[in-house]
């Protein structure tokens, strides 16, 4: 979330009329550790993707997988965007 979105969320939460038990429940949710996803290998990730692409033939699925895998290779990581133009 962006800082702006977090500030809006915080303002919204402050405006709520919460009981003490509701506040404790919300606090518990906010500090709850993030669930970790199991680490998967690149081969497992590829197999999952190709399973989702089941309507394509193997060649088309493989081609699309490679395209998606390398879709950001030529894009700059941080671009300056001028909204005034």
Predicted confidence (pLDDT) per residue in 6-45, tens digit? 888 889 888 888 889 988 888 888 887 776 667 788 888 7
Flag whether 26 is in a domain. no
Residue identified by tokens 């001028």 is 82
What CA–CA distances, in Å, run from 4 to 9, 10, 11, 56?
9, 10, 11, 41
pLDDT confidence band for 75 (50 / 70 / 90): low
User: Does residue 48 sit within a domain?
Assistant: yes
Residue 8 counted as domain residue: no
How many domains does the chain divide into?
A: 1
Residue 25 lies in a domain: no
Range(s) of the domain holding residue 51? 40-73
């Amino acid at each position: 979330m962006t800082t702006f979105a977090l500030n809006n969320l915080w303002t919204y939460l402050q405006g709520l009329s919460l009981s003490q038990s509701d506040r404790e429940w919300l606090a518990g949710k906010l500090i709850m550790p993030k669930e970790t996803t199991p680490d998967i290998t690149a081969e497992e990730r590829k197999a999952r993707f190709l399973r989702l692409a089941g309507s394509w033939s193997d060649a088309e699925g493989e081609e699309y997988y490679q395209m998606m895998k390398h879709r950001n290779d030529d894009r700059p990581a941080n671009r300056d965007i001028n909204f005034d133009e």
